[in-house]
Amino acid sequence: MSLEKFVDPLPIPGILKPVGKLNGVDFYRVAMREFKQKLHRDLPETTVWGYEGTYPGPTFEVRKNVPIKVKWENNLPVNRHLLPVDSTVHGAQPSNPLVRTVVHLHGGNVPDESDGYPEAWFTNGFKQTGPFFTQKIYDYPNAQPATTLWYHDHALGITRLNVYAGLAGFYLIRDDCEDQLNLPKGNFEIPLVIQDRSFNPDGSLFYPRQPDPPPEGFPPGFPDPSIVPEFFGDTILVNGKVWPFLEVEPRKYRFRLLNGSNSRFYRMKLTSGQPFIQIGTDQGFLKKPVITNEITLGPGERADVVLDFTAFTGQNIILTNDAPSPFPNGDPVDPNTDPVGQLMQFRVNLPLSEPDTSIVPSRLCSLPRLKEEMAGVVRDQTLVESADEFGRLLLLLEGLRWSDPITDEPELGNIEIWRLINTTPDTHPIHLHLVRFLILDRQPFDVKRFQETGEIVFTGPAEPPDPTERGWKDTVRANPGEVTRIIIRFASFTGIFPWHCHILEHEDNEMMRPYEVVAEEE
């Protein structure tokens, strides 16, 4: 269905307040519920799932090194999912409860019991729990630099559905260095989560029941519902509103951009021709601001940017998108004609309420970088395409499934280089829980030769990451036909953590593996 663009103001998620103290630490309770929310002027109210009755959920604002505790509570329907559940994918078998949740703090350096492990799920009232469930109250140490994290559901086999239903929100860490930068703040600092959805005419969320068309050779007994290889909605929402507008003053604003979509990538520009002044990546500030006309985000990635509207009084500026889906070789998106080619609108029509004294300093906050020589281990991780017993596309890491034994056991504190060898035709946003990393480079290789002989023959030079991705990351785009090298220090906790493709339809169907950080050997 087609909805008119830019008729609703951008909502800004509220800030969560602790409910009290627990062992001297700020304690939050966050309940997941089903409720109705108005997502567009002309759309009947939509039933969604959200945290604390809002979609997206309220924002956490925490300080570096000030730990908090959170009790995530599932008050969702007990045995009725909002969306079609395929019971043939891992974790979603009929013997498991239909509605399971577990909350992952994406980008958080947290102990494994608080990570939101996909099999640490729990149901309404904790009546049933998954095999990895250990505790109801999570500990977030927040011992990491100021940045934009986000929390979202991660239940094995239904993550794509739980997140699509609305279970996601922001988690901002602040620190003293950030305070000294004098960036735009208060009303001039706004998080923006970009998501694509489709709707039925009655306003309900549409999510496909089966691939359309089904895979070739459609075998008898093909699952119904069946997982789809990717899902791309035809409507864009920002902060839970369809194609919203934001009225702004002629001054600088800081925006935390988050791609919270299931499968869609965004390659963003502004119709005013003005640049993004990028100040941060997934895991914190860049060393210096990067002036760029274009920002690309795969699912799970974030960019911290400043936009300066000073010279644009009276203008309506559209944030556009021309990322093909699947990325980068799928259907092209024309920002002028394609509905998903436009994301939201900025209207520079408010009077300046006070002089803009904020600045973007030429030096931001940064951590010492890891150098290639520091790495003791190089691990090759191959991204491969195969098919399951129903002929459905199955993407795997190292050809292994989620439930196969752990094959990666980095030692606590050690530095490793992971080579993500992408033999598939698409870009996969690869996310490692627990850690932050840097991108070293990307280099094209002969995929066919590799598939036949296992030998990597490079076909071009190694390219350094784009300036927009030269900061600390937790999610990296591994492009097709390229070896993407990242350097990682495995700190600060031992335990079992997932790493996976952040295309939710992929992680729900085996493109996810556990790894274990082990204690140093004597």
Total residues in contact with ligand C2O, by rule CB under 6 A: 10
Q: State how far the Cα of 136 lies from the Cα of 422, in Å rounded to an integer.
A: 38
Report the C-alpha gap between 258 and 204 in whole angstroms.
24
Among 104, 269, 442, 489, which residue sits at the site for ligand C2O (rule: CB under 6 A)?
Answer: 104
In the complex, the smallest distance separating the C-beta of residue 378 from ligand C2O, rounded to whole angstroms, is: 23
Show the 3-state SS of 34-75: EEEECCCCCCCCEEEEEECCECCEEEEEEECCCCEEEEEEEC
Q: Which of 97, 79, 89 is nearest to 34 (CA)?
A: 79
Task: Kindly tell me which of 184 and 498 has the beta carbon lying closer to ligand C2O.
Answer: 498
Shortest Å distance, C-beta 502 to ligand C2O? 6
By C-beta, is 436 or 502 nearer to ligand C2O?
Answer: 502
Closest to 51 measured CA to CA, from 26, 68, 29: 29
Shortest distance, position 49 Cβ to ligand C2O, whole Å? 17
Window of 51-59, 379-387, 403-411, 495-503 that interacts with ligand C2O by CB under 6 A: 495-503
**CB nearer ligand C2O, residue 416 or residue 507:** 507
Minimum Å distance from CB 465 to ligand C2O? Answer: 20
Interacting span for ligand C2O (CB under 6 A) from 176-184, 262-270, 383-391, 498-506: 498-506
Chosen residue from 40, 106, 302, 392 binding ligand C2O by CB under 6 A: 106
Nearest residue to 77 via CA among 45, 101, 57, 58: 101
Using rule CB under 6 A, residue 498 touches ligand C2O = yes
CA-CA distances (angstroms) from residue 433 to 113, 259, 330, 436, 518?
A: 13, 17, 28, 8, 15
Quick one: 5 or 152, whose CB is closer to ligand C2O? 152
Binding to ligand C2O, residues 254-293 (CB under 6 A): none
CB of 167 to ligand C2O, least distance (A): 11
Question: Binding to ligand C2O (CB under 6 A): which residues in 429-488?
Answer: 431, 433
Residue 506 engages ligand C2O in binding (rule: CB under 6 A)? no
Q: Which is nearer to ligand C2O, 446 or 516 (CB)?
A: 516
Report d(CA 386, CA 393) in Å as an integer: 6
Q: Are 304 and 148 in contact (CB under 8 A)?
A: yes
Please give the structure tokens belonging to residue 34: 């089903």
Question: Which of 438, 420, 446 has the alpha carbon at shortest distance from 513?
Answer: 420
- Region of residue 56 (left: phi > 0; alpha: psi -120 to 50; beta: else): beta
Stretch that binds ligand C2O, among 7-15, 132-140, 174-182, 496-504 (CB under 6 A): 496-504
Taking the least distance from each CB to ligand C2O, the nearer of 169 and 498 is 498
Cα–Cα nearest to 364, from 298, 306, 308, 422: 306
Candidates 289, 300, 429, 481; binder of ligand C2O (CB under 6 A) is 300
Binding track over 61-100 against ligand C2O, x by CB under 6 A: ----------------------------------------
Closest separation in Å from C-beta 86 to ligand C2O:
19
Cβ-based nearer residue to ligand C2O, 58 or 289: 58
Which residue from 61, 140, 131 is spatially nearest to 104, judged by alpha carbons? 140
- Residue showing tokens 């934001």: 246
Residue 432 CB, nearest approach to ligand C2O (Å) = 9
The closest alpha carbon to 300, from 411, 391, 427, belongs to 427
- What's the closest the beta carbon of residue 130 comes to ligand C2O, in angstroms? 15
Two tokens at 191? 């998080």
CA contacts within 13 A on the Cβ side of 63: 7
Select from 500, 508, 513, 514 the one that contacts ligand C2O (CB under 6 A). Answer: 500
Alpha-carbon distance 117 to 187, whole Å?
35
Three-class DSSP category at 392: coil
51, two tokens: 């945290």
Site for ligand C2O in 128-157 (CB under 6 A): 152, 154
Is 114 within 8 Å of 88 (Cβ atoms)? no
Minimal distance, residue 173 CB to ligand C2O, in Å: 16
Binding to ligand C2O by CB under 6 A, coded x per residue (else -) over 405-434, reads --------------------------x-x-
CA–CA separation, 192 vs 240, rounded Å? 10
What does the block give as tokens for 120? 């640490």
Residue nearest to ligand C2O (CB): 106
Positions in the binding site for ligand C2O (CB under 6 A): 104, 106, 152, 154, 300, 431, 433, 498, 500, 502
